Homo-oligomer: A and B are copies of this chain.
Amino acid sequence: MSAPTTDVIAIGNAIVDVMSPCEDALIEKLGMTRGGMTLIDTDQAHALYEAMGPAREISGGSAANTLAGLAALGAKCAFIGQVADDQLGEVFAHDIRAGGISFATPARAGDPPTARCLIFVTPDGQRTMNTFLGASQFLPAAQLDEAAIADAAVLYLEGYLWDPEEPRAAMRRAIAAARGAGRKVAFTLSDAFVIARHGDDFRALIDAGEIDILFANHVELAALTGLDDFDAGLAALSPKVPTLVVTRSEQGAVAVSGGLRSEVPAEPVAKVIDTTGAGDLFAAGFLFGHVRGRSDAESLRMGAIAAAEIISHYGARPEADLQALMVQKLG
């Protein structure tokens, strides 16, 4: 087995975020779940866009955001995800490549268009997401570059993409390719609704030892374990994965590796502008520390710093110089 030349290869939704500030009343009026992620169809996408104020477009997608953070920190990354052959697809592809990330999945011709996520951001910075998956859900398993997967130290998978059938098959093949090459598999549970639909799959993968690093937030931990108590959930899940990382919003985050628990408080933020991508960038910081051989405690701190940067501005792609920020904060 030769040494990997890529740090992290990820499979995720290839999405452009369409973001607009809004008052809390609009969230209620539109019947949306504050802070949640809802899948929407074409008609709903049109209706919600109609109800949305002037917006800005910034590339997103959970795993893609994580890679953008990793690449900004200096990691060598590659992304696998499906855009359509349209303008938003060009925007997504440009932004990911301009971030220094290798991206070779060919654009898909015809309908549906490139995925977009309509994000309503309330004055407290909370984001409420409505995702039109479009082309993203048609990532074909046959297209997977297994050599590229075998050549990365970590394969990172986004739970959101477990929902549609084709990408799920692709991710199963990717896991096999990574494990066959002796690489690590990292997985983020993404959202409680994914666990509600695919929790059995996730539990089976975990029980089979297919996941080396598992990312969750406290709500997802409870959903996966069926245990409302945080420590009970942690105690139940952590023996099943080599590294478990659980974020708890303003309460910081916890990692457990081989029974050893590390903890970090949330990094202070002057003003929370937009929480979109907080978990994604936490994962970026943690994974960067992890692939560079840092301790869990140090990696958690890097996650907290990257997450604090992302919630202090609009959009889920880093704006500040993350490397400089780490030097400044960590010395």
Contacts and interface: CB of A to CB of B under 8 A. Distances in A.
Interface of A: 20-21, 49, 52-59, 68, 86-88, 91, 94-96, 98-99, 113, 315, 317, 319
A98 B55 contact: yes
A98 B57 contact: no
Contacts of A95: 54-55
User: Which 4 pairs show the lowest CB-CB distances between chains A and B?
Assistant: A57-B57, A87-B87, A54-B95, A56-B58
A53 B87 contact: no
B56 A94 contact: no
A interface, over-half SS = mixed
Given A56-B57, A86-B86, 16 more contacts: A53-B98, A53-B99, A54-B59, A54-B94, A54-B98, A55-B91, A55-B94, A55-B95, A56-B58, A56-B315, A57-B57, A57-B58, A57-B91, A86-B87, A87-B88, A87-B113
Nearest to A68: B54
A99 B54 contact: yes
Contacts of A55: 91, 94-95, 98
Contacts of A317: 54
A53 B94 CA distance: 8
A84 B87 CA distance: 12
Contacts of A87: 86-88, 113
